[in-house]
Homo-oligomer: A and B are copies of this chain.
């Protein structure tokens, strides 16, 4: 999982897009309607999310439908868990920190 994922998550508009897509796929237009922002700006956010592999797209006629890519979000959870879960505790990997 790369830096782009976290940078993508740093914007509140993009996080809200992800939250909405958690309810199921939506077209670019449907999504855009729910924000006080121009369509090009929304399109930019879709692009950032897609580049980070957080969402996928599929064309159906004139519309483009976006949906969550949960795999990458799971990776984020794993990273976070890995960071905080071993705080204070002597976890299975604690020994690793003592290696050269």
> Could you list which residues of chain A lie within 8 angstroms of chain B, going by C-beta atoms?
3, 6-7, 9-12, 15, 18-19, 21-24, 67-68, 70, 73-74, 76-77, 79-88, 94, 97
Contact = CB atoms under 8 A, between A and B. Distances in A.
Nearest to A86: B22
A21 B76 CA distance: 18
Contact of A87 (B70, B79, B85): B70
Given A73-B84, A77-B77, 6 more contacts: A9-B9, A22-B84, A22-B85, A24-B88, A68-B87, A70-B84
A24 B80 CA distance: 16
Copies in the complex: 2
Q: State the majority secondary structure of interface residues on A.
A: helix
